[in-house]
Structures are given as C-alpha cells and as structure tokens.
Amino acid sequence: MYASPLILASTSPRRAELLRDAGYAFTVVTPPLHEPDQIGPGVPPAQQAEALSFFKARSVTHQVCEGLILAADTIVASAGQVFGKPADLHEARKILQALSGTTHQVVTGVTLLDAASRRRLIQHDITRVTMRTLAPEALERYLDSGAWEGKAGAYGIQDRADPFVARIQGSFSNVVGLPLELLERMLAEWAEATESVPGSRHGGPSTGVRVQ
C-alpha cells in the first residue's frame, strides 16, 4: 500500500470521515474548479464518473508539487438517466421521485494521480441500491430537512434517507461516496507498479485509465 499521506481532493466530509475511520493518513486540498455533474449525452455512467473524478484530481495539481492525489466523484444512474447533486429543493424532489421504488446504480469514479509525474490510475465501482416507494409525506419531511444537499441522487445512505433503502448489492462505502474496497486494491496496484519502476518514488501505472 502507498505509505505516504494521500492528498484528498474533496470538500466532502463523508469521504474524509471514511478515510479517517479506515486509518488512512491524508491531507485535504479543496478542488478550485467546479466541474459539471455530467459529461454529456452518450457517455456511459461509469465513464462519466471516472472522467469527473479525474477532472477533480487534475484541478488541484497546481496547488501541490508532489504527492499522490485521490479524487472521487459519485453519480446515480437509473433507467437511462444520470443524476448528480441536485441544484435546489425542486430538483431534489424530481430526482427522488424518479428513484422511488427503483433499483438503481450508484457509480463512483476514483482517480489516483501523482502530482509530479501526472501518472494516474482511474477505476470505478458500482453498487445496486433498491429504494422503497417513498410516501409523499415522508419525501416532503426529508426534503424539508435539507439532508439532500450536496448528495448525488439527492440522498445519503448514512443520513436520514436510510429508511428509504430496502437493499444494497455491493460496497456500502461506495454509496456513502468512496468505495474503500476499490481504493485498497488501487493503492496496492499503485504500490506494486511503483516498486517495479527503477528510481521511482511515487510513480504509478496508467492501467485502467479511460481519460487521457
């Protein structure tokens, strides 16, 4: 595993908490750029999430000279639609009404980017979430709470939306915002590849990269 502290390119307290609870050493750098929640029509959700995570990692490279940058971006896909973070309460209501009673995909793209060499490893994880049919009064109470703000799909499974979720297939931490199981595998792959590069301090492979 990569031994030095990670540089977390995120303002998400949930991602920081997941890393902290898992025992990772890291510093936080706020991404200066506000990337779009979606890449565009015709791009599969997994590739959208990967690209968004890469953009986020790349946006902090002018703030750090060296170190391994970690960035993640989570979107929700259902019935051909892709949902990011809602802009306001009205959009949050529309998203939750669309997801109510469905089994949808929570997709998180994860990027490891070396600040000095710009080598990167980009992958994604997918969790299937089955949401109960939301009663109108329960939906309005949740919307009034403001807990939907800043969350892909307008809900967070670690928050008051928990009663909305009937079943999870896959990584729980992925739904929170950072798939720890995938991150561990990526860091192991990164460390193994780095050791195989003569004279490399941080390095890393481009295996799995879909963003050039």
- Under DSSP, is residue 170 helix (H, G, I), strand (E, B) or coil? coil
- Taking alpha carbons only, the member of 156, 49, 43 closest to residue 99 is 156
pLDDT at 32: 84
Q: Could you state, in chain order, the average pLDDT of each consecutive group of 10 residues for the chain (212 residues)?
A: 80 94 95 66 90 94 93 95 93 96 97 95 97 93 92 79 84 95 96 69 36 32
- C-alpha 177/C-alpha 172 separation (Å) is 9
Q: Indicate the domain borders of the chain.
A: 6-195
pLDDT at 63: 92
pLDDT at 201: 41
pLDDT at 33: 62
pLDDT at 157: 81
pLDDT at 211: 33
Which one of the listed residues 21, 37, 73, 114 is annotated catalytic?
A: 73
Residue 98 buriedness (CB in 10 A; 0-12 / 13-18 / 19+):
middle
pLDDT at 158: 64
pLDDT at 35: 57
pLDDT at 196: 66
Taking the complete model, does pTM exceed 0.85, yes or no? Answer: yes
**Residue type at 202?**
H
CATH topology for 6-195 is Maf protein (3.90.950)
pLDDT at 126: 98
Angle at 150 between CA 139 and CA 140, to 5 degrees: 15
- Our answer to whether residue 144 is catalytic in this structure is no
- C-alpha 74/C-alpha 108 separation (Å) is 4
pLDDT at 205: 32
